[in-house]
Each structure stands twice: as structure tokens, then as C-alpha cells.
Structure 1
Amino acid sequence: MTGQADPAWGANAPRGIFAALLARARAGDGKMLARVASWFAPKAVDVETLGFKARLHPGDNLSEKRILYTPGRFDPVELAHLSAALHPDFVFVDIGANCGAYTLHLAVQAASGARFYAIEAQPEMAHRFRFNLAASDIAASVQLDELALSDTRGEIAFTVNRHNRGESGLEGGGETIRVPALPLADYVAERNVTSIDALKIDVEGQEHRILAPFFASTPETAWPRILVVEQLLATPEKDPVQLALSHGYTVVRDLGRNVILERAGGT
């Protein structure tokens, strides 16, 4: 990210042999074609993907790479489940929003009365999210907050993985920066969010650290009806799926890496 203004969306449209290979990879959702196309890829690529306009950077972010080359393989069950839950006053919270794939995919489909709250602590990824949001035609309200959610309030250490920015987080190797942090209960209270239809959280193993105090301090009426989380089978004491189950959620779909849960008795 630089201090210069970004060229308008479309300036980095695929060209030449890369454009041809990319089109074939996207049409067939083929990993081999995607690998070949990546040999010719520029640093940034402007495409329409998952229903929104994006400038994607496949060289340093696995999520953007997947969205660029094989969008049909990017969490299709999770996105379809959330899309089916949309209604005029839908409220969605996206913790670890990355370049905006979940939020923007849903927001372009949503009515103007829907509200989307995206949280991304990494300055470069927040910058990319804002660009994609501005490039896309979205009627719903989308709010991006550049901060971390944690179990404490204040400034907190955050590590940036420049090889795969999606693996940046509150723990791990990489460049360390300081970012503002809030507990989830404080975040929703300060934004007057009293009910959440769906919440997606992907924060590199820190889900329990965020969700446990939220469940402990927030009325059940404010808990999200749908949860999309990554399960941590190797560390069951930190597994957000087990945490959700202990608070009355049931598994709707176990997709291996991700799990979709809903509040028992929810509609």
C-alpha cells in the first residue's frame, strides 16, 4: 500500500496469455490451469468474482488467489447457506474479513436495509477491502472497522505474514504491529447491534479467545443465529465448535475445515 491513489478498477484487467489462461482456469475450476496461469500473473488483477468487483493480489494472500483462479471452490457451501438466510433486515458480522469475500458476496445480494459489519486488523487488507467495496455496486450498509477483536480492550500486538496475509493474526510469526482491540461484546454494543443473523469468524486459531467472553457476558438474544467457524480438532480446549455446542448451537454442516452451526430452535 502506498500514499498514491489507486488506479480505478479495470486498470489491472487481465491481458494477453494470462487473460486466456485465467479464463480457462475460472471456467473449469481447475487447479492445474490455475497453477499455470499463476506463472504469468501480475501483482494485482481486476476481475468480477463471487458477484462483486475486486482487485486481487494472488502473490501474497491465499484467499485472494483462490477467489481469483477458482472462485467456485471458495467456500461454496458456506456462502450458499448464508445467501439463503438473507432477508431485508439481515445483520452479518465478519471477523477477519480479509479482502471482503464473504461480506461483499452477501452484500451485493442484500436489500438496502441489511447491515454488514466487517472487522479487519491488518492495514493492507483493510485497504484492499475498501477498494473492493468502493468498486462494487452495493445498496446495503457495509461498515469496515480496522481493528482486532480479542478478550481485552486497548492496543494489542498483531503479526503480519507477508507471504500469506490471510495467516496474519494475534499469534504467529511475522512483522509485529500494534492495532486497537475490542472484545466482541463491546464492539456490538458500541454499534447498537442488538441481534445478529450470522457471524463468520476466521482469526487463525483465536476464535475461542473472542467468542468465549462474548457468550459469557452477552444476553442470548444477542447471539448470532448462524455461526461459520473453522474447527480446531488438534486443540479441543480452544475449538470454537465445541464452545458453540456447549452454548446450545447445533452443527448444520461439518465441511471438514469449516463448520456451519445454528442456534437450537432457530429458523
Structure 2
Amino acid sequence: MKWETRALSAADTRLPDGYETAPWGAYAPGVLQRALIGIARGSFLHRGRMRYLMTMLIRRLGTPLDVTFQGLRYRIEGRNNLMDYGLLLHPDYNGEEIRFLRGACAEGGVAVDIGANIGLYSLPLARAVGQGGRVISIDANAAVLQRLKVNARLSGLDNITAVACAVGDSIGQVDLEIANSDLAIVSVTPSAQGSIPLRPLRDILSDAGITRVDALKIDIEGFEDAALVPFLETAPDAMLPRRISIERGGPGRTDYQGCAAAFARKGYRLVGRTRLNSFYERS
């Protein structure tokens, strides 16, 4: 799909007054908003036109909104971010993916979320690994990473390390653009004058003091091969995740060829798929 993009602006990273400091419930949905949310969550029409219609109606009644999802707290704006819409309206948004990754996590474990957005995966994984564990949440988009930090604080989670950078196969800088239709969909272009750092995953984890990984989720709009293959080929066994959820890409939503080949070389097996993601596990 071809996205119309634009440069990330200062306005995109500016949070509404009180967004970071207001106590939980300050933006509780009103009666009519709660009714619309209930109708959407009770319907099988969670995507497409239904989602756009319901979110348009809810947003016109006022935002931000404080909503609970999977027992965790999210403060959302619904401002051209489809993940906001999913959290707001879908009772089990990406639930199969989250449960799969959570199955590799125990108290004291480590999870990595590449393309973390506002924390759909990071927050439940942080709860799964407990205070003795850690989640490394990586995103090149400062606009969404700010919101992830707010959501983690509201949910009482202090075991998430947010890393603002792009992930690739080299060290450098990139320019970042966002899709007009979705704040979280980004396009990165290598540039010596770029404002966003580009780093290999192995370096990011080493700097964070990570020596093992239990679960990894990756969804970075087509850069999966560049980010993940060098890591899989060079990381010691202890750092190879037990479970990986990876967005499917390419014609017919096939798996990324480079990643699939690296998974096979490293002893991963494909254990399941959803509409958008593939699940790999290593014994």
C-alpha cells in the first residue's frame, strides 16, 4: 500500500495541556462515549468503516480519553493513530499476538518491542515479566513514544525502557516521515543530516545491559529484514528470543524472506499466523 507521508512536525509531538500530569480518570469517557464504545466492542465490526465511523463520533464528543484495555491504562487522543482506535473499540485487539508473546515471559524475564507505538504490546509484557524483569520499547517516532511513557506511568509500570531510534543494519541517522492517515506509520530514509539515530538491535540491547531475551515483537513498516537478520546472525544463543511475533509483509502478506530464512537457520519454527502477523518459536 502506498502511503502519503509528511515530515513529523513539532505539533505532532506536542501533548495537550495536562496530558502528562492529569490523574487517571481526568479524561474518563462521558455517558454517550461509553455507550458508543460499548456498542463497538460488542459488535463483530471492529475494523474498516465501522471503526472509522465510531471513532469519528467518539472523538467529536471530546478527547483525550482514559480507557482500560486488558486491565492496563491508556490515555489516548485518537488523532490519526489506528492503534488508538483499536484499543478504544476492539475488546481483544491483537490479543492472540500478545498472549503468544506473554507465554514466553515469566517473572524476571526480558521482552523487546520494536515499533512500540503507544504500548499495546509493551505494557502487558511489562506486567508479565514483573518488577524484576524489563521491557525494551523501541520506536523512531517521538510522538508515539511520549504517549507510551504516559501510559506506562498511569499503569504503574516502571520496568519499561523507552528507546527513541530507528533499528537497522548500520549506525547512522535517518529522516522520518509519517503517514497522513496514521501517525504511527513511518517512512525512514538514511541521511547524514537526519534527526533520528539509526542503530543495530544488538547495540541497543547491549547499551541497555540486556544479555537475554525471552520475547520479541517487531513491526517497523518494512524494515524487519534490516533490523532483525543481523541480530539473529550475530547474537549469542542466550539473546535469541524464545518467541517472536513479526508483521507479515510483501505480496499476499507473506513473511519477510530474509527473516524467514534466518529463523530457519537458527532453529525457529513457524507455529501460527494471524491476519497480519506470524509467530515463531525456538526450543
Q: Which runs of 5+ in 2 are unaligned?
A: 1-12
Q: Which residue of 1 aligns with 2:14?
A: 2
* 1:154-173 paired onto structure 2 within 5 Å: 154-170=172-188
Q: Which residue of 1 aligns with 2:6?
A: none
Q: How far apart, in 1, do the equivalents of 2:66 and 2:43 lie?
A: 19
Correspondent of 1:110 among 122, 129, 137: 129
Correspondent of 1:25 among 40, 52, 70: 40
Q: Which residue of 2 aligns with 1:151?
A: 169
Q: How far apart, in 1, do the equivalents of 2:155 and 2:135 lie?
A: 15
| 8 Å Cα contact 2:101/2:244 also seen in 1 | no
Q: How far apart, in 2, do the equivalents of 1:160 and 1:233 lie?
A: 20
Q: Match of 2:27, as an amino acid?
A: N
Q: Which residue of 2 aligns with 1:12?
A: 27
Q: Match of 1:2, as an amino acid?
A: R
Q: Which residue of 2 aligns with 1:56?
A: 76
Correspondent of 2:272 among 253, 261, 264: 253
Q: How far apart, in 2, do the equivalents of 1:237 and 1:69 lie?
A: 30
Q: 1:256 to 1:70 in 2, by over 3 A?
A: closer
Q: Which residue of 2 aligns with 1:180?
A: 197
Q: Deviations over 1:145-180 (max 9, x none)?
A: 111111111322222224202321326xxxx96201
Q: 1:35 to 1:167 in 2, by over 3 A?
A: closer
Q: Match of 1:101, as an amino acid?
A: L
* 1:112-261 paired onto structure 2 within 5 Å: 112-138=131-157, 141-170=159-188, 178-234=195-251, 238-261=257-280
Q: How far apart, in 1, do the equivalents of 2:275 and 2:53 lie?
A: 28
TM-score normalised by structure 1 residue count: 0.87
Correspondent of 2:114 among 95, 106, 111: 95
Structure 1 residue runs of 4 or more that deviate by more than 4 Å after TM superposition: 32-36, 235-239
Range that drifts further, 194-203 or 55-64: 55-64
| 8 Å Cα contact 1:34/1:69 also seen in 2 | yes
Range that drifts further, 237-246 or 114-123: 237-246
TM-score normalised by structure 2 residue count: 0.82
Q: How far apart, in 2, do the equivalents of 1:196 and 1:237 lie?
A: 21
Could you say what secondary structure the match of 1:39 adopts? helix
Q: How far apart, in 1, do the equivalents of 2:75 and 2:67 lie?
A: 7
> How far is the alpha carbon of 1:35 from its aligned partner?
4.7
Q: Match of 2:76, as an amino acid?
A: L
Q: How far apart, in 2, do the equivalents of 1:144 and 1:195 lie?
A: 18
Q: Match of 1:126, as an amino acid?
A: L
Percent identical: 28
Q: How far apart, in 2, do the equivalents of 1:167 and 1:2 lie?
A: 18
Matched, 1:68 2:88: yes
Q: How far apart, in 2, do the equivalents of 1:103 and 1:29 lie?
A: 26
Q: 1:96 to 1:237 in 2, by over 3 A?
A: closer
Range that drifts further, 186-195 or 10-19: 10-19
Could you say what secondary structure the match of 1:187 adopts? helix
Q: Which runs of 5+ in 1 are unaligned?
A: none
> How far is the alpha carbon of 1:225 from its aligned partner?
1.3
Q: How far apart, in 2, do the equivalents of 1:131 and 1:236 lie?
A: 33
Could you say what secondary structure the match of 1:199 adopts? strand
Using CA pairs under 8 Å that are at least 6 residues apart, name the structure with larger relative contact order, 1 or 2: 2
Could you say what secondary structure the match of 1:78 adopts? helix
Q: How far apart, in 1, do the equivalents of 2:250 and 2:178 lie?
A: 25
